[in-house]
Amino acid sequence: MLVRTGLVILGMLLASLSWSAAPQTPQEARAQIEALQKELQQLSTWMKELKSERSDVEQQLESKEQAIQNLQNKIRDLMQDLKAGEAQLSQLQIQQRELQLSIEQQHDQIAAQLRAVYRSGNDDGLRFLLDGQSPAQTMRLIHYNRYFSQARQGLINGYATQVNELHLVEKSIRSRRAQLLGQQQELQAQQASLQQEQQQRQKLLVRLDKDLQTSGKRAQRLTENQAQLKSLLERLEQALADIQIPDQDTPFKTQQGKLIRPLANLSVLPDNSQVNLGGVTYAAKEGEQVRSVFHGRVVFADWMRGFGFLVIIDHGEGYMSLYGYNQSLLREVGEWVNANDVIATAGSSGGRTETGLFFALRYNGQPLSPQTWVK
């Protein structure tokens, strides 16, 4: 009953939204996402009620996989920061070497000029007069000498400026190294926490398997999982029928055999989770990038029993794509995505023991064969 009620609410909410045009600016995109999420708050209440019907072990499993997703996201962000920090440190070190070389060259030039001044003495005007030069020639030579003195002073000033720049660069290098050290230590701590969470998740999987085996409800639970997802898809498809995706130069219906692969390599695994849904499960590496097969809008991004972290994208004209078992979700409900955009990372969420990607295509409520649509 909760499933039917919640999906009716979802259908009414989605039907009321205007998605006739993709955002033209980041601010407009953010506003659209926030508006959609606000409209879906009632669905969030229903989802909580639905989750309350799960067993204690299943609720713990979802909580644990949410924690693992958060840690994975933190680790990914830290690794990106470390990479950027190391690149910046490398640039600073290049700048440091260039400044050191320039300072050495200027030092040699200044030293040579100072030695020349010392040998010639400083009474240039008197020396020119005693040499018997005419007054006009003497004044011209004095001006030349002043010009060279000013150039020499400019060289000295430039030398001092570069010495100061070198000090600032060396200070930045010390600061960046300290920051990188702190990030590396934080990364190690997060990785240790992740390992603990994964070990606890494994224990929960053993408990869940034992409970289902003891109660003889394994087949029933599989059927329930499929029924929940199928109902969600049917209601989504019904609601999205009246919502227009912006016109595309290349319609989805022309892409059979041409769609971007959701994973780099597609190797089908035996899996009974996709029964009656027409999907397939592909082998995947933990953390491997999962990509959108075509342009569209994210209409679902959440944890669902039996399918873990699931992303559903609406491609317009009745076409939808599904991506399940993910380790982490990288897109929010309401976001537009293009073909080949990374939308998630592959994992084993939803209670699986083997890493993989559940992938399915739908058209007007009917499953399509993914194998005949992707490249």
Task: Please identify, among 185, 216, 247, the residue that sits at the C-terminal boundary of a domain.
Answer: 216
Q: Give the pTM.
A: 0.62
Q: Do residues 277 and 353 both lie within one domain?
A: yes
- Give, for all 375 residues of the chain, the pLDDT tens digit: 434 434 433 444 444 444 445 556 666 656 655 655 554 454 455 455 545 555 677 777 777 888 888 888 888 888 888 888 888 888 888 888 888 888 788 777 767 766 666 566 554 544 544 454 445 554 555 555 565 566 667 777 777 788 788 888 888 888 888 888 888 888 888 888 878 887 787 777 777 777 666 655 666 766 777 777 777 776 666 655 555 555 567 889 999 999 999 999 999 988 655 544 778 999 999 999 999 999 998 988 988 888 899 999 999 888 999 999 999 999 988 889 999 999 999 999 988 888 999 999 998 888 899 989 998
Contact between residue 326 and residue 311 where contact means Cβ atoms under 8 Å apart? yes
Q: Do residues 285 and 347 both lie within one domain?
A: yes
Domain that holds residue 358: 225-375
Q: Do residues 245 and 296 both lie within one domain?
A: yes
Q: What is the CATH number of the domain that holds 349?
A: 2.70.70.10
Contact between residue 7 and residue 228 where contact means Cβ atoms under 8 Å apart? no
Contact residues for 313 (Cβ-Cβ < 8 A; gap 6+): 292, 294, 296, 297, 298, 299, 320, 321, 322, 323, 337, 343
Number of domains in the chain: 2
Give helix then strand counts, H and E, for the chain. 7, 10
Give dist(CA 231, CA 225) in Å, integer. Answer: 10
Q: What is the CATH number of the domain that holds 153?
A: 1.10.287
**Cα of 251 vs its chain's centroid, Å:** 27
Task: Please identify, among 180, 197, 216, the residue that sits at the C-terminal boundary of a domain.
Answer: 216
Q: Do residues 47 and 191 both lie within one domain?
A: yes
